[in-house]
Amino acid sequence: MPSDARRIITIDGPAGAGKTSVSRRAAGELGLAYLDTGAMFRAVALRLGQDGHRLAESDIDAALAAVVFSLDGSGADTRLLVDGKPLPDSARTEEVGAMASKLAVLPVVRARLKQAQQALGRTTDLLAEGRDMGTAVFPDAPCKFFLDASAEVRARRRVAQLAALGRPADYAAILAAISRRDDQDRNRAEAPLAAAPDARIIDTSAMTEDAVVAAIVAAARA
């Protein structure tokens, strides 16, 4: 094994499948740094603004080349820093998620973020969460998971998550937004949302968060 080979676990799945809280907790139990790659796409969305996906490819590339992503801390307390600063809570809204999803179809954005994600994976053992971690970014990771749940369950979870941030949200609007985002993420040409052939698929619809974390930790240790 090359000396810079790191232990990488990947967790992919659609919006609202419970990846973020489950991944953070599993990273804590397994003693790995946690990388939320959705937050990287959201950071890019905030950086480029509402119509960022319409900018010239060369402008997007230049803007992204200047962004420095780093990880601070470890386990469940790992923080993603963008140019040395944590992302604001406003990055977690469904509007920013939709902007991120529009940018995520662009090869120039995917290429820059893939490069940044792989670079982080060379610096530390990592639990990486996203849409294409097991398929495109870390295809050689020995342990991969794909979390899924029905769109209705995912919309209910997102409403609860936003409420916890003090942002009341309308269930029907969130369900429609999640379904649109799913469609866009699953059907894009480059690195579409999909389970890697060697990923363990976990349907979390009827599972508690504790049960999902326990299943991942047990499988990763085995």
- When the beta carbons of 116 and 218 are compared against ligand C5P, the nearer one is 116
Structure tokens at 174: 């969130």
Among 38, 52, 121, 134, binds ligand C5P (CB under 6 A): 38
User: Are 148 and 203 in contact, with CB atoms under 8 Å apart?
Assistant: yes
In angstroms, the CA 44 to CA 38 distance is 10
Output the smallest distance, CB 7 to ligand C5P, in A: 19
DSSP 58-79: HHHHHHHHT--EEEES-GGG-E
Output the smallest distance, CB 4 to ligand C5P, in A: 22
Helix (H, G, I), strand (E, B) or coil at 11: strand
Output the smallest distance, CB 3 to ligand C5P, in A: 27
- Looking only at the bridges linking them, the beta strands covering 8-12 and 126-130 are parallel
- When the beta carbons of 76 and 105 are compared against ligand C5P, the nearer one is 105
130 binds ligand C5P (CB under 6 A): yes
Residue owning tokens 């090869």: 107
53 binds ligand C5P (CB under 6 A): no
Q: Which of residues 73-112 bind ligand C5P (CB under 6 A)?
A: 97, 100-101, 104
Among 32, 126, 147, 185, binds ligand C5P (CB under 6 A): 185
